[in-house]
Chain A
Amino acid sequence: ETGVTQSPTHLIKTRGQQVTLRCSSQSGHNTVSWYQQALGQGPQFIFQYYREEENGRGNFPPRFSGLQFPNYSSELNVNALELDDSALYLCASSIPYYNEQFFGPGTRLTVL
């Protein structure tokens, strides 16, 4: 069974640029959630995708957008990057009604 993977591991961008982060869900999991974790804080929910549709969204602006593909992998896109977007971005996969989420190792984004 393959776990959740994320790419890239680290990324450095400048303010105003756009970034795409990728996540492959655990085998058999059709739900993917994305989180932003600032240094010293807990993860904050960005959104969730279930069967290629957005299935819940946290308090993040529209410049944070996502996609889920037929194989249940997912992308997080962030436009017009701001310095405060610097964080660890985590994705987690799960199966509906089973609340345990399986997290990937994260992508560390630095915005300069």
Chain B
Amino acid sequence: SQQGEEDPQALSIQEGENATMNCSYKTSINNLQWYRQNSGRGLVHLILIRSNEREKHSGRLRVTLDTSKKSSSLLITASRAADTASYFCATDSNNNDMRFGAGTRLTVKP
């Protein structure tokens, strides 16, 4: 079963705008990760945030984590057409399985 739920399911923006995607999960976690997938291919790891962290940055990416609300957000600043992809959050706890949400499909129009 899937752990997380991403919101929105789909997002369409213009190049240069910021994109914000949210993820909610149900059980306690060790880490939360965000992955990107282009056109049904393999996933690419973007960023990991640990349960004791609240915010993390990597280039144009900013991730926040609120464990009290069991939610996370991914912000992509100054988006580019090449950012068009599906974005997934994934959580892991203590039983070695990583649980993914259903993803947000981001379209960045040039």
Q: Quick one: CB contact mask for B75-88 with A, threshold 8 Å, 1 for yes?
A: 00000000000001
Q: Is the CB of B96 within 8 A of A56?
A: yes
Q: In residues 58-112 of chain A, which contact B (Cβ within 8 Å)?
A: 58-59, 88, 90, 92, 99-106, 108
Q: Quick one: CB contact mask for A23-49 with B, threshold 8 Å, 1 for yes?
A: 000000000010101011111110010
Q: Is chain A's interface secondary structure helix, strand, loop, or mixed overall?
A: strand
Q: How far is the CA of A37 from the CA of B30 in the complex (A)?
A: 23
> In the complex, what residues of A have CB within 8 A of residue B96's CB?
48, 55-56
> In the complex, what residues of B have CB within 8 A of residue A45's CB?
97-99
Q: In the complex, how many angstroms separate the beta carbon of B91 from the nearest chain A beta carbon?
A: 10
Specify which of B1, B2, B33, B95 is in contact with A100 (CB 8 Å cutoff). B33
Q: Is the CB of A42 within 8 A of B42?
A: no
Q: Quick one: CB contact mask for B1-18 with A, threshold 8 Å, 1 for yes?
A: 110100000000000000
Q: Is the CB of A42 within 8 A of B98?
A: no
Interface residue count for A (Cβ, 8 Å)?
A: 29
Q: How far is the CA of A100 from the CA of B32 in the complex (A)?
A: 10
Of A4, A41, A55, the most chain B CB neighbours within 10 A belong to A41
> In the complex, what residues of A have CB within 8 A of residue B2's CB?
41-42, 44
> In the complex, what residues of B have CB within 8 A of residue A43's CB?
43, 88, 100
Q: In the complex, how many angstroms separate the beta carbon of B22 from the nearest chain A beta carbon?
A: 15
Q: Is the CB of A106 within 8 A of B48?
A: no
> In the complex, what residues of A have CB within 8 A of residue B97's CB?
33, 45, 48, 56-58
Q: Is the CB of A56 within 8 A of B100?
A: no
> In the complex, what residues of B have CB within 8 A of residue A48's CB?
96-97
Q: Is the CB of B42 within 8 A of A105?
A: yes
Q: Is the CB of A105 within 8 A of B41?
A: yes
Q: How far is the CA of A33 from the CA of B43 in the complex (A)?
A: 13
Q: Is the CB of A44 within 8 A of B42?
A: no
Chain B residues within 8 Å of A, Cβ to Cβ = 1-2, 4, 30-31, 33, 35, 40-45, 48, 88, 90, 92, 95-103
